[in-house]
Amino acid sequence: MTGARLLGSGSALPERVLTNADLAAQIDTSDEWIVERTGIRQRHIAGEGETTSTLAIAAARAAIADAGVEASSIDLIILATATPDNTFPATATKVQHALGCNGCVAFDVAAVCSGFLYALATADSLLKTGMGTRALVIGAETFSRILDWEDRTTCVLFGDGAGAIVLEASGEAGDDASTAPGILTSRLHADGAQHDLLYVDGGPSTTQTVGHLRMKGREVFRHAVVNLASVLNEVIEDAGISAEDIDWVVPHQANARILDATARKLGIPSEKVIVTVDQHANTSAASVPLAFDTARRDGRIKAGDLVVFEAMGGGFTWGASLMRV
């Protein structure tokens, strides 16, 4: 039996583009260093009036239009973000109100860069229990608002954006998971012992400020390759497939070198890895659905393809999910 199946996807980016050259004019860095170490060439940065919710609403509207359904038919909205508009209420409730589907379930998930994977697995599970029929799963972030723009080791790495998908509970007992569309399996993990390697140094209950992102990049890199390869192997084994069966890897877009190293560890050719980090940088919870929507719209990912999503982020948290589109 398969899980929830995809009906549509959408994404949104702020208008303003900040190139590596723009950054090099502000801080001690260079286009050459950023491209060589990360693969990033530019990122989009939210301007006045653009927030996590405005980006999420635009991505959600695009996904609902692509799905060809009415917003009022959505039963469940799960929004992954580490940069909500407000400490509370959940940004998902703002999205719900803008879409006009008031009354349905709406909440945020906080798992930083793995947030979309956590939201996807939660939506799939809730749809399987009969909590509803259609779910809107969103990853949306404005990391530019929690960056220390004087810290060259972090501020060059991130960007803003949003991606969304619409899912429908459709798996029937007896469906052949090797051909039927839907989520085959998901695996999630967290390790709170690694808190100090990637965190934000503020919050309502500690400093009463929003704080800034702090990261020990080299250590995060090392953990990322090991954890991502391990969770990818878990979903491959759980679904009873082999790495060669995968048509596309849609990874969290943190660093082109992490994408290469992880794919290499699994023996997946780099042509099967969707890469948008050059254009979007690391958009945290938004990066997986943004990359997925980009590759669906440019015709690479098609109906029937077997796609694996994977991400790792602050916490640490990490996860992977296999979906037949």
Residues with catalytic function: 113, 252, 282
Q: Does 61 bind ligand ACO (CB under 6 A)?
A: no
Long-range Cβ pairs for the range 121-125 (8 Å, 24+): 121/186, 121/188, 121/319, 121/321, 122/78, 123/4, 123/76, 123/78, 123/167, 124/3, 124/4, 124/167, 124/183, 124/186, 124/321
Angle separating helix axes 52-67 and 91-99, nearest 10 degrees: 50
Residue in 59, 101, 112, 286 binding ligand ACO, rule: CB under 6 A:
112
3-state helix, strand and coil shares in percent for the chain, rounded to the nearest 5: 40, 25, 35
Residue in 101, 250, 254, 291 binding ligand ACO, rule: CB under 6 A:
254
H helix intervals, the chain: 20-24, 31-38, 52-67, 91-99, 115-128, 152-155, 217-239, 256-266, 277-280, 287-297
User: Per CB under 6 A, which of residues 267..296 are in contact with ligand ACO?
Assistant: 282, 284
Q: How far apart are CA 114 and CA 80, in angstroms?
A: 9
Residue in 128, 152, 214, 272 binding ligand ACO, rule: CB under 6 A:
152
Nearer to ligand ACO, 210 or 306 (CB): 210
Binding-residue pattern over the window 13 to 52 for ligand ACO, x denoting contact by CB under 6 A: ----------------x---x---xx--------------
Pick the piece of the chain touching ligand ACO (CB under 6 A) from 7-15, 164-172, 237-245, 250-258. Answer: 250-258
Pick the piece of the chain touching ligand ACO (CB under 6 A) from 7-15, 164-172, 201-209, 215-223. Answer: 215-223
Nearer to ligand ACO, 311 or 325 (CB): 311
109 beta partners: 80
Residue in 26, 153, 208, 242 binding ligand ACO, rule: CB under 6 A:
153
Nearer to ligand ACO, 112 or 183 (CB): 112
The answer to whether 117 and 78 are in contact (CB under 8 A) is: no
Q: Which two tokens stand for residue 312?
A: 């790792």
Q: Does 224 bind ligand ACO (CB under 6 A)?
A: yes
Q: Residue 119: CB partners within 8 Å, gap ≥ 6?
A: 78, 79, 80, 109, 137, 138, 139, 285
Nearer to ligand ACO, 56 or 184 (CB): 56
Which residue number is nearest to ligand ACO in terms of Cβ?
Answer: 217
> Would you say how long the chain is, in residues?
325
Nearer to ligand ACO, 37 or 272 (CB): 37
Residues of the shown chain interacting with ligand ACO in the complex, contacts defined by CB under 6 A: 29, 33, 37-38, 112-113, 152-153, 156, 198, 217-218, 220-221, 224, 254-255, 258, 282, 284, 313-314
